[in-house]
Amino acid sequence: MERVNKSHNFSAILRNCDAAGVLDAHLVPPDAGVGVHHQIAAGATRWVPVTRHASTEAAFEALRASGFRMLAAHPGPEAVDYREADLTRPTCLVMGAELHGVSDEALSLADQHIVVPMEGFVRSLNVSVATALILTEARHQRASAGMYESPRLPTEEFDRTLFEWAYPREAKRRRDDRTPYPSLDEEGRWVDERG
């Protein structure tokens, strides 16, 4: 999210991310910052951590270094229908602020521009609605490709994420104390740490 400045949109996007199975959200915050509207987010912040970046360039650099392709949602002449983009690849969806959209800088850095086609006179949808449509298409493409049939995360990352989701308070305590997480059995119960 590039300078998304309304808390209800920011919060709805996080909820959309959780619904689509997105594990991380990234934010280049607006100058005035943006907060979470907890009723709209419906607890999604517990499962979708937000990484904040100092600038658009820094965000693109960090995400590309992690292997992501950058797709900017923008209703310009170069944009392709979001359903035609390959959303099965490691992809970062770049969504812009409500009034101005994705910045010129982000557009120039993006690998591809995508658009949600519109039939009426309005140029674009609300940013959280557009995000929901695109993420739903990504989920559809990935399901069709069989990508949800087995975990794709490395075992260590899967186990860490599962423990943090299942036991958020205990995970925080252990992070603060710098103690390792216990193993979980198939039912999600702690394995006896004493061996």
* Mean pLDDT estimate for the chain: 89
Report d(CA 125, CA 108) in Å as an integer: 22
Q: In which region does residue 42 sit, left (phi positive, over 0), alpha (psi from -120 to 50) or beta (all else)?
A: left
**Who's near 185: CB < 8 A, 6+ residues apart?**
191
Q: How far apart, in whole angstroms, are the C-alpha atoms of residue 63 and residue 78?
A: 23
Q: What average pLDDT does range 50-65 have in this prediction?
A: 96
Domains of the chain: 7-144 (3.40.1280.10), 151-195 (no CATH)
Give the three-class secondary structure for 26.
strand
Which segment of 14-23, 69-78, 182-191 scores lowest on mean pLDDT? 182-191
Average pLDDT over residues 89-118: 95
pLDDT-derived band at 152 (thresholds 50, 70, 90) equals confident
Mean pLDDT of 35-51: 66
Calculate mean pLDDT across residues 59-85: 97
What is the model's pLDDT at position 194? 54
Highest mean pLDDT among 73-77, 111-115, 116-120, 149-153: 111-115
